[in-house]
Amino acid sequence: MKLFARLYTALDETTRTNAKVDALVAYFQSAPPEDAIWAINFLIGRKPRQVVPTRKLREWAAELAGIPAWLFEASYDVVGDLAETISLVLPRGNASNDMPLHIWVEQHLLPLRSKKADTQRKEIDSAWNQMDRVQRFVWNKLITGAFRVGVSHKLVTRALAQFSGIEEPVIAHRLMGNWNPDSTYYHQILSPDTNDADISRPYPFFLAYPLDQDAEMLGNVTEWQAEWKWDGIRAQVIKRENQVFIWSRGEDLITAKFPELQRAAQKLPDGTVIDGEILPWKDDRPLHFAELQRRIGRKNITRKILETAPVVLMAYDLLECDGEDVRNNEMAWRDQRLANITAQISGGRIIHSPKVNTDSWKDLAKLKDGARNRGVEGLMLKRLSSPYGVGRKRGDWWKWKIDPLTVDAVLIYAQRGHGRRSGLYTDYTFAVWDHERLVPFAKAYSGLSNDEIRQVDRFIQRHTIERFGPVRSVKPQLVFEIAFEDIRKSPRHKSGVAVRFPRIARWRTDKKIEDADSLETIRALIHD
């Protein structure tokens, strides 16, 4: 496991892409296949579920460290990462060894979940005792189900391609869907033979970049296809050998969550793969995303849910047609085929995403700005001649979002951040005026530069009024412009409103707290 821990450190210590790829390639060159496949598995985000409750881990770690529980919690508050806190407080182990990663995972980690608490404790004590600090950290990340490291799917794919000489798209495709992390599959990933069908396997999703330039710069508007940017769950629907598989973008198989879609997709011709968005939909228009969220949260799909939040697939693209991979055909070609296929499916569950046709970028911009009333987030622009790519690429697909709503609000509470922002006060609560009172209105974590974060952190340290556990209330003095995508009434919130994706747009050093917005003006932003 030392080798894997060293890889983790190397990936963690650099922000340079090439250095990360080099570290990965070096790892694949020296790791045995049984280990490498687990490494790939974890690196691309297929982390194991939590095997031991974190409450137990904290308790055990504090005991081994000889510190009271509250001191462990205070330390965790400063470090901002549980796995790391544990690795820092534990006394040095004395049985250093270097068992391979796959042995740790297959013989120790995976069986842990089904064991009794005292056996779990013995196993974990013994594991900690055999590891150095970095190994413990990685191990803790794995057992808490929180394994994450700063490499994208794309980088792992690139490193594997570089290491094996197989093309990147082939590797990317092989890493999708369901597979067992064993050495057999590792050899399959790297195999020059490309006849390795698995009927459930999805294609890598093609992702759009946010448009960060004037739309006019994209050239002639007639070379582009515009569609609404729907707010649902991006999904790939596969029909092969008479079976339907629905994958989310997070590569979860979600077929069972949407029985009505599964039934509709059964009508698709065999050998069809469609990329689209699952939307809660009623009376020819989308319901609010919250309806879908509520539905996903439920364990059982009851008749009632099917009635209150029925879904459709808004079909965007065709990736496989008659069993052939058609991703390299032009967008216009694929869209035409998709239209033919969806036209034959009755029931209205699979809708061909309508095109927004205009003669000029100006008209399109106008439509985009009015999009909020349609319950969409903006427009998608796709070059008519573009293939369906892999991952996020600039150039052919752009998302053109409506400008966010903004409000000026006052910082009133702060808490230390986690992960990259650990140790600094970076999690803020903002308030707006309700007559003479400031009421909490939104929480936001991102949007400030590192410099600003440090300044605000220092302000918080010096202007704390009270502490409530990890939270500090601070003197109302700093005003920030908060941007968000959407606003709704919410009886659960003190302010009576809930906002979607709040973030800090900028620090309004030019404004005093009296200049912050009032609840009244904010309520006026709500539309039905």
What is the secondary structure of 231-299 as a DSSP string?
A: -SEEEEEEEETTEEEEEETT--B-GGG-HHHHHHHHTSPSSEEEEEEEEEEETTEEPPHHHHHHHHH-S
Min dist CB 418 to another protein, Å, is 8
Per CB under 8 A, contacts with another protein among 88-107 are 88-89
Min dist CB 420 to another protein, Å, is 6
Output 424 or 497, the one with its CB closest to another protein: 424
Min dist CB 194 to another protein, Å, is 38
Output 349 or 421, the one with its CB closest to another protein: 421
Contacts of 181 (CB under 8 A, 6+ apart): 37, 38, 40, 41, 46
What is the secondary structure of 448-497 as a DSSP string?
A: --HHHHHHHHHHHHHSEEEEETTEEEE-S--EEEEEESEEEE-TTSTTSE
Query: Counting contacts by CB under 8 A, is residue 13 touching another protein?
Result: yes
Per CB under 8 A, contacts with another protein among 39-98 are 65, 67-68, 70-72, 74-75, 78-81, 84-85, 88-89
Output 383 or 416, the one with its CB closest to another protein: 416
> In Å, what is the CA distance from 8 to each residue of 14, 126, 151?
10, 22, 10
Min dist CB 137 to another protein, Å, is 8
Torsion angle of alpha carbons 40, 166, 10, 88, nearest 10°?
0
Output 345 or 474, the one with its CB closest to another protein: 474
Q: How many residues of this chain bind another protein (CB under 8 A)?
A: 29
Contacts of 166 (CB under 8 A, 6+ apart): 160, 190, 191, 192
Stretch that binds another protein, among 6-14, 229-237, 338-346, 469-477 (CB under 8 A): 6-14
Residue of 282, 502, 291 lying closest to 404 (CA atoms) = 502
Min dist CB 503 to another protein, Å, is 19
CA atoms lying within 13 Å on the CB side of residue 126: 11
Output 138 or 498, the one with its CB closest to another protein: 138
User: In this structure, what are the phi and psi dihedrals at residue 181, rounded to the nearest 5 degrees?
Assistant: -75, 75
Min dist CB 455 to another protein, Å, is 11
Output 126 or 450, the one with its CB closest to another protein: 450
> Is the separation of the CB atoms in 182 and 34 below 8 Å?
yes
User: In this structure, what are the phi and psi dihedrals at residue 60, rounded to the nearest 5 degrees?
Assistant: -65, -45
Amino acid 322 reads D
Stretch that binds another protein, among 9-17, 166-174, 196-204, 332-340 (CB under 8 A): 9-17
Per CB under 8 A, contacts with another protein among 489-528 are none
> Is the separation of the CB atoms in 432 and 409 below 8 Å?
yes
Output 224 or 425, the one with its CB closest to another protein: 425
Binder of another protein out of 15, 29, 213, 220 (CB under 8 A): 15
Output 201 or 416, the one with its CB closest to another protein: 416
User: In this structure, what are the phi and psi dihedrals at residue 415, rounded to the nearest 5 degrees?
Assistant: -140, 155
User: In this structure, what are the phi and psi dihedrals at residue 278, rounded to the nearest 5 degrees?
Assistant: -85, 125
Min dist CB 478 to another protein, Å, is 20
> In Å, what is the CA distance from 121 to each residue of 60, 114, 127?
7, 13, 10
Min dist CB 205 to another protein, Å, is 28
CA angle 311, 390, 337 (to 5 degrees): 55
> In Å, what is the CA distance from 459 to each residue of 146, 247, 454?
32, 46, 9
Min dist CB 445 to another protein, Å, is 14
Output 291 or 427, the one with its CB closest to another protein: 427
Task: Write the binding mask 400 to 419 for another protein: x where contact by CB under 8 A, - elsewhere.
Answer: -----------------x-x
Per CB under 8 A, contacts with another protein among 422-461 are 422-424, 450, 454
Stretch that binds another protein, among 7-15, 115-123, 306-314, 513-521 (CB under 8 A): 7-15
Min dist CB 480 to another protein, Å, is 21
Output 88 or 351, the one with its CB closest to another protein: 88
Binding site residues, another protein, CB under 8 A: 12-15, 65, 67-68, 70-72, 74-75, 78-81, 84-85, 88-89, 417, 419-424, 450, 454
